[in-house]
Amino acid sequence: MALREEQILRYSRQILLKDVGGRGQEALLEGGAKIEGDGPAALTAAAYLAAGGTPVVASDEAVCPASAGFLVTPEDIGRPVSEVLARVLPDVNADAATPREGGRLAELPSAWNGEAPWVALGGDGTRGAVVFRGPQGCVWCFGETVRNLGTPPMGVLGVALGALGALVFQRLRLGMGPELGGRWLVAPGQVLEMDLHLCAKCRGAR
Ligand SMILES: [Zn+2]
């Protein structure tokens, strides 16, 4: 597909980044993401992905009370996430309004299957955590690492975690490595490398 003039304007900031470019923007528009979660992290990630041109499919979980304020109104609490996002995302970016799966971005706990990229949003009680896997990333190491994490933070840290998760998802979609990794979000804007649970094969490869 070729970008239309208004799309070049809309995505100019991304296209100007050398790692995205026009080709990359087309790839984001042609991709998709299944979003699972009802909190601020998942909803923020959905909004960032849609704004960047990636169509999203949301789950039917009810919007959690902590999500009010960002994208959703107090009246949306308890409604299915899919219904609320179907209403608000076309205003964020009409290009991404047609839901399309392909890859998964989910709040923990979650079951993992389907096509990469996989991006997990979780936490350890104080910090946010994002663990990610591209098509070549080790499924075992990803699974073992997310199995030891809890649910993602709420509030400002949850919103920041969602934005970071969307960025990571877009990078994987564009084929940018690494294929497996994790980051702690200590505070909005403060990111630390995470030590992953590695299988013998991956340990040997590092
Ligand atoms: Zn491994």
In angstroms, rounded to a whole number, what is the distance separating the alpha carbons of residues 35 and 126?
23
How many angstroms separate the alpha carbon of residue 108 from the centre of ligand 1? 20
How many angstroms separate the alpha carbon of residue 172 from the centre of ligand 1? 18
pLDDT tens digit sequence for 154-189: 999 999 999 999 999 999 999 988 999 999 999 988
Is the per-residue pLDDT at 122 higher than 90? Answer: yes
- CB of 194 within 8 A of CB of 182? yes
Provide mean pLDDT across the span 132-149: 96
Confidence (pLDDT) at 160: 92
In angstroms, rounded to a whole number, what is the distance separating the alpha carbons of residues 206 and 136?
15
Q: What is the pTM of this model?
A: 0.91
Confidence (pLDDT) at 1: 64
How many angstroms separate the alpha carbon of residue 56 from the centre of ligand 1? 29
> Residues 6 or more apart from 22 whose CB is under 8 A from it?
3, 8, 15
What confidence tier does 97 reach under pLDDT thresholds 50, 70, 90? confident
Indicate the domain borders of the chain. 1-30, 32-205
In angstroms, rounded to a whole number, what is the distance separating the alpha carbons of residues 40 and 76?
13
CATH of span 32-205: 3.40.50.720
Provide mean pLDDT across the span 63-73: 85
